[in-house]
Structure 1
Amino acid sequence: MKRNIKLDATDRKILEILQKNAKITNAQLSQEIGLSPAPTLERVKKLENSGVIQSYHAKLDANKIGLGVSTFVMVSLKGHNKENIERFVSRIESIPEIVECHHVTGSGDFILKIVAEDISSYQMLMLETVSNIDIVDNMQSMVILSTFKDSKVMPLK
């Protein structure tokens, strides 16, 4: 388990700003937090190097790029051992339509978020790829009808 990184008020402010606008220039960021550009850049680099900031991404509109169907799929494996978990994760890492994979407690072992062009593409993916993973025991699909909140912003105390 990773240890928590000590963050002061300035670090938290930097993180709040970058989560909302990762394209902000260092000069603009330094103005907003009240430091000169050099120490601001040093703090951002420290946050990146420590792993607090993992990456920067462009958020895409799935519908506008032809991915009209999103689902959550609860997956149960045939065995709950480390080898099966590693085999499953290894197999799904190579499937680009699976955009999230979470190991969970409860009635299933994993929750996957899957995006596809349409229902027939989704069905084909499930029948020909995901269900053919030999250690998959059971799957339950939930089609996402509407999304009312999809924030990637982490709350900072």
Structure 2
Amino acid sequence: MKKLDDIDLKILTLLYKDADITNKELAAQIGIAPSTCLERVKRMKNHSIIKGAFVDINFKNIGGNIEAIAAIRLQPYSEQIVNQLRDDLLKLPEIVSLYHMGGSYDYFIHMSVKDSEHLRKFVFNAVTSREEVQTVETSLVFEHSRSGVLPSFEDD
């Protein structure tokens, strides 16, 4: 794909801030035709620049009273083991996000559960019960915030 131009970057900036914006609103804010805007968004989706959009849910309002991050170290460590853990955990409704890491831990798991007993059972049943899991350290999340500012990688 060709290098992104200023219009593409404006589209990404606005979508990053509000993925729910309509194409018509997006085009108007940038000053281009809606058809042009739609084609640019489609092109960026086809080239995996835009991987998707998501809804930011307040888990507390639907019963997820506790959020936690579990840091996991695997032993043995192989691509097959890493991929299987990812695939198995992503099927579970408690999982919000998974991060395959380099460094001391192999995975960080972001989860949401209804209470401390749910957290305890989830960690025991879904994580520590696995043979390849060597270490688990679970920390509570007091607040989770997401930046609405698109990172810039342009040379200044």
| TM bucket, shorter chain | 0.7 to 0.9
- Per the alignment, residue 141 of structure 1 pairs with 138
- Per the alignment, residue 151 of structure 1 pairs with 147
- Per the alignment, residue 25 of structure 2 pairs with 28
Per-residue CA deviations over 1:48-94 (Å, capped at 9, x if unaligned) read: 11111111222111111110111111101111222322232232222
Note the aligned Cα RMSD (angstroms). 1.8
Q: Give runs of aligned pairs for residues 60-75 of structure 1, distance below 5 A.
A: 60-75=57-72
Gaps of 5+ in 2: none
- Per the alignment, residue 129 of structure 1 pairs with 126
Note if contact 2:72-2:105 (Cα within 8 Å) is conserved in structure 1: yes
- Per the alignment, residue 38 of structure 1 pairs with 35
Cα distance in 2 between the residues matched to 1:103 and 1:19? 23
Check 1:93–1:24 CA distance in 2 against 1; reply closer, same or farther (3 A cut): closer
Normalised to the residue count of structure 1, the TM-score between the two structures is 0.87
Note if contact 1:69-1:117 (Cα within 8 Å) is conserved in structure 2: yes
Check 1:51–1:140 CA distance in 2 against 1; reply closer, same or farther (3 A cut): same
Cα distance in 2 between the residues matched to 1:94 and 1:139? 19
Note if contact 1:5-1:52 (Cα within 8 Å) is conserved in structure 2: no
Task: State the identity as a percent.
Answer: 27
Note if contact 1:73-1:142 (Cα within 8 Å) is conserved in structure 2: yes
| Range moving further from structure 2, 92-101 or 121-130 | 92-101
Task: Give, in angstroms, the shift of residue 35 of structure 1.
Answer: 1.2
Per-residue CA deviations over 1:20-67 (Å, capped at 9, x if unaligned) read: 222222222222111112211111111111111111222111111110
Cα distance in 2 between the residues matched to 1:21 and 1:129? 34
**Residue identity opposite 2:95 in structure 1:** I
